[in-house]
Amino acid sequence: DAKTTQPNSMESNEEEPVHLPCNHSTISGTDYIHWYRQLPSQGPEYVIHGLTSNVNNRMASLAIAEDRKSSTLILHRATLRDAAVYYCILHLYGAQKLVFGQGTRLTINP
Amino acid sequence: DTAVSQTPKYLVTQMGNDKSIKCEQNLGHDTMYWYKQDSKKFLKIMFSYNNKELIINETVPNRFSPKSPDKAHLNLHINSLELGDSAVYFCASSPTPGSSEKLFFGSGTQLSVL
């Protein structure tokens, strides 16, 4: 399974943008980049995914490096409810599972 | 309506007992999964079923037996519970196996084996 590397923890302030980095230098051409988050005492929740181009949705934006060896999840205006563990996952198209890493624990200060 | 629902939410039991966790999804998805999250918070896939057929078994002890009576349900039965089985178990579903589509997770079942 292709591996991702994320910082263990990050901290930000409410109403400020947050940039969560992910390195995936062993990514292959058919790997999709997925982001999930897990709020306290809840199951993981899908955030966003992409292949090559940057992606936006109502929750976040995903910026993918041109060589695809890294990506950044962008929360445009963090709220206290965004405090969670964020997982960056490579999902091989055709593979039948998601392999979670350790994730980044995001703390939001009021 | 909850998309992926698991019962019970909490399960406390003694070593050696047999217990089951139920999972149901109302999304019309073909594929369902069981994941285990241990005390270090690592999420690991255990099983995957597509349309009631087992497609992934990640070297889980055979004390764990998933059963899928129909594609909307995937239950997990655990025999002879051990202390190391204590964890949070998550059920999930997705539209089709192997696609880039997202997974929907239940809220988890916290199993404590005493």
B18 to chain A, closest Cα gap in Å? 24
Inter-chain CB proximity A97 and B100 less than 8 Å? no
Task: Give me the mean pLDDT over the B83-107 stretch.
Answer: 87
Q: Which residues of A touch B (CB under 8 A)?
A: 32, 34, 36, 41-46, 49, 51, 85, 87, 91, 93-100, 102-103
Q: Which of A30-34, A97-101, B41-45, B92-96 has the lowest mean pLDDT?
A: A97-101
B100 touches chain A (CB under 8 A): yes
- pLDDT at res. A69: 94
With beta carbons under 8 A apart, name residues in chain B contacting A45.
105
Q: In the predicted model, is pLDDT for residue A86 greater than 80? A: yes
Q: How far is CA B82 from each of CA A21, A107, B14, B108, rounded to the nearest angstrom? A: 38, 34, 8, 19
- For residue B96, name the pLDDT band (cuts at 50, 70, 90): confident
B49 touches chain A (CB under 8 A): no
pLDDT at residue B87 is higher than 80: yes
pLDDT at A72: 97
pLDDT score recorded for residue B41: 82
Q: Are B91 and B27 in contact (CB under 8 A)?
A: no
Chain B nearest-CA residue for A42: B107
What is the SS3 assignment for A80? Answer: helix
CB contact under 8 A, A98 and B45: yes
Q: Is A93:A32 a contact under the CB 8 Å cutoff?
A: yes
